[in-house]
Chain A
Amino acid sequence: MNTDVITDIAQAEEGTSLWQDAWVRLRKNHLAVFGLVVLVTMIVIALLTPWIAPYAYDAQNLDLGASPPSAAHWLGTDVFGRDLLTQIMYGGRISLAVGFIATSVALLIGVTWGAIAGYVGGRTDAIMMRLVDILYALPFMIFIVLLMVVFGRNMVLLFLAIGAVEWLTMARIMRGQVQSLRQQEFVEAAVSLGLSPATIIRRHLVPNALGPIIVYTTLTIPSVMLLEAFLSFLGLGIQPPQTSWGLLISYGAETMEEYPWLLIYPGLTLTITLFSLNFLGDGLRDALDVRGSKD
């Protein structure tokens, strides 16, 4: 009894939260750790690009033209003599930003929307989810093309457009999670304590529903990046002289017979990033799976 009597919370031994548990499991998954390391490296490079890039992103060397990889230009140059490595680094900033920002937009809207629909239920739920169904049914390409035509090609708009599409699935997942969680007694306990619905959603439902949402997020980022690549490929995305991986691949594809490196290196970068995200997503799914924790 003596050693157990403490007088302040800070003296108590810290417990292991489920998040910490999941982290321990994730660390044992080599592929997921590899994915995480690659991603962090990519993000760090993207952030530091203006300082570490070998050339300025718009520096042309028309005399040189397209040249294969060399000591001066590690990944070669494009037809205007621009350094490909620099292009990929700057393109990565845009691609990663689109991936993460658009996904965050989707996350924010989807989680809020789904949590409210799932918790309130009844008619509110029906109306909210029918709206999601209707948006699902809209042809995505037409939606984007319309936006681009009306408002012009604009980065912010691109984020919003992609986010506005991706949140739908997020909302559905969240709603399903919340619906099953709200049957649990700890939610009933929260109601009987007198907590407001907003607090119950924020403190009790969202943290418990996050597992599948995080997994889905890591799988959404690659699909968003692919979308951007696809839109850029069609000429609806990023405008030169700004560039993105999708745009680089699109140019590379046009000239792949003469200058194959212009397609190979951007393509490789995108592929590695997407693989990393997928590895991480798979690892997270295993790590966050509650059934796995009962060993």
Chain B
Amino acid sequence: MALLEVKDLAVSFVTRNGVNKAVDGISFSVESGKITAIIGESGSGKSVACYSMLGLVPMPPGRIDGGSALFNRQDLLQMSESELRKIRGRDIAMIFQDPMTCLNPYMRIGEQMIEPLVYHRGVSKAEAMARAVELLGEVGIRDPETTVNNYPHEFSGGMRQRVMIAMALINEPKLLIADEPTTALDVTIQAQILQLIADLQKSRDIGVIFISHDLAVVADIADEICVMQTGTIVEKGDRAAIFDHAEHPYTQKLLAAIPSGGKEDTVEHDDTLVRVENLRTWFNAEGQIVKAVDDVSFDIRRGEVLGLVGESGSGKSTIGRSLLRLVPVTGGTVTFDDTDVTALEGRALKDMRRRMQMIFQDPFASLNPRMTVFDTLAEPLLLHGIENRKSVAQAVLKLMDDVGLVRSAVRKYPHEFSGGQRQRIAIGRALATRPEFVVADEPVSALDVTIQAQILELMQELGREYGLTMLFVSHDLAVVRHLADRIIVLYQGRIVEEGSGEQLFTTPREAYTQQLLSAIPGHSLGSTPAVS
């Protein structure tokens, strides 16, 4: 008998635009001591499916249309709210993507941890506190006797996720639901948390539902994998079946979208376009000087893609912004085609901006929501006098073609597009002035995996067509390896290692680079995913 047996679960949302079937009759089961991964892109219904079983989907607008979810032979879907409340946090626990929003910032973590224990089991406070300390030790928090009295903000992101896991485990649940628990974390931290979840699940023999958008993340830990698309499970099976003999085209598409291998046609470039010398960008944060970028020197050669890799706080985004003069530079020089960019002002700076552009991370934030695509794309063209009022329409339509958007959508607003389409608009805006140099700051990390692959392909294509030199900033080594000719690894504002993509991946010299590489999820996939 499985721990959780879900049959024909169907959930829909009633909106003013009609009924939206979020989950359309899915069945799966979770065994004790096994990790079941539910994989799907945004909007596939993977989270709704799990939340609805626990009564965590607001109803209305949500509505359970049918099915059953047997947990310990009891149907969760038939339970009243008060019965469910007894199960939640006791027999079934959850961990979420963003630990910061799930922890009360005004409560010491010990107090928060023991709450369910005191509430569900009536354990005395002192006893509960001892249990909390023990668990914090188990999830790898150093010095738990003192840290138990800390507030959430005193922990780093990875540590907070550990605290969340300890909190979820405190009532000895039989089932743990982890909703994208590592998505907000750096790769090295992600690897640690994944390992922790796998270890705890084995040592405690509990069932785990691991919800993720990323097949690579679950490749090393999942026993069973369900692939969801638009509310249905299109394929399920054990890990080997999914990774080695995927049958459904969507699963194959997901697998193919995992970036792998190096850039195919790396070319040696020798003509330097951008020379960065001793760049320092320091910020003054409440009297403390934060050295975001500290004495960094490198060259970018004409026509190459230079990858800039690092974890959060490494200064990779700040370097990109410093080159484009989007943040004030503290010291050093940035020479672009024999001109010192850091010294430019006024008219000269404006002219320089035409030649260097930026593609941003979040396509939902990087487009002005009150401007149509036409206005967004026409703005740079008119500003720099590249087109006049009459000719701009044709130029905009041409741009739409270039970035793969249908021309008829030109008068629509950003909110009428999907994330991938929005990123295409943003790319179009960056390329409108025909720049020679583009900084791409995590351009695909906010996108679904299959969309990610499309956007990367588009960027490579346009890079060739426009003859672009690109600085590609990312936390994702696999993506960078796929795209970049050369790679620079950053750590805490300084360059750790620099080399060609292949050299860096096959023979990394520095310990930090090696650590980063080993943290890339999906080792069991090998270097090339198997797609039949």
Contacts and interface: CB of A to CB of B under 8 A. Distances in A.
Interface of A: 3-9, 11-19, 184-186, 188-195, 203-204, 207-208, 293, 295
B435 to A, nearest CB: 10
10 contacts: A7-B397, A9-B374, A9-B393, A11-B408, A16-B412, A18-B369, A194-B383, A194-B384, A195-B379, A295-B15
A189 B370 contact: no
A192 B407 contact: no
Contact of B433 (A7, A19, A193): A193
B428 to A, nearest CB: 12
B416 A189 contact: no
Given A15-B412, A186-B369, 6 more contacts: A9-B410, A13-B409, A13-B412, A16-B416, A189-B430, A194-B349
Given A186-B366, A194-B383, A208-B369, A12 B408 contact: yes
Nearest to B373: A15
A192 B370 CA distance: 19
Contacts of B396: 9
Lowest 7 A-B CB distances belong to which pairs? Answer: A15-B412, A194-B353, A185-B366, A194-B350, A185-B360, A4-B406, A207-B370
Contact of A15 (B349, B367, B411): B411
B295 interface: no
Contacts of B360: 185, 188-189
B362 interface: yes
Contacts of B324: 192
B365 to A, nearest CB: 4
Interface residues of B, number: 48
Contacts of A207: 368, 370
A188 B370 contact: no
Nearest to B413: A15
A185 B370 contact: no
B383 A186 contact: no
Interface of B is mostly: mixed
B372 interface: yes
Nearest to B360: A185
B171 interface: no
A197 to B, nearest CB: 12
A259 to B, nearest CB: 52
Given A185-B360, A185-B365, A208-B369, A5 B407 contact: yes
Contact of B365 (A7, A12, A184, A194): A184
B326 A192 contact: yes
Contact of B393 (A8, A203, A204): A8
Given A15-B413, A191-B326, A194-B384, A6 B407 contact: yes
Nearest to B366: A185
B504 interface: no
Interface string B276-308: 000000000000000000000000000000000
Given A195-B383, A207-B370, A15 B416 contact: yes
A12 B405 CA distance: 13
B31 to A, nearest CB: 37
A171 to B, nearest CB: 21
Nearest to B426: A189
B183 to A, nearest CB: 20
B490 to A, nearest CB: 21
B426 A4 contact: no
B361 to A, nearest CB: 7
B383 A193 contact: yes
B236 interface: no
B443 to A, nearest CB: 11
Contacts of B369: 18, 186, 208
Contacts of A203: 368, 371, 379
Contacts of A193: 353, 357, 379-380, 383, 429, 433
Contacts of B380: 193-194
Contacts of A194: 349-351, 353-354, 380, 383-384
Contact of B408 (A4, A188, A293): A4
Interface in B289-339: 321, 324, 326
A194 B345 CA distance: 11
A185 B408 contact: no
Nearest to A15: B412
Contacts of A293: 415
Nearest to A21: B415
Nearest to B407: A6
A186 B496 CA distance: 32
Given A15-B416, A194-B384, A189 B408 contact: no
Nearest to B357: A192
Nearest to A199: B383
Nearest to A293: B415
B353 A9 contact: no
Interface in B453-507: none
A260 to B, nearest CB: 48
A17 B397 contact: no
B369 to A, nearest CB: 6
B366 A189 contact: yes
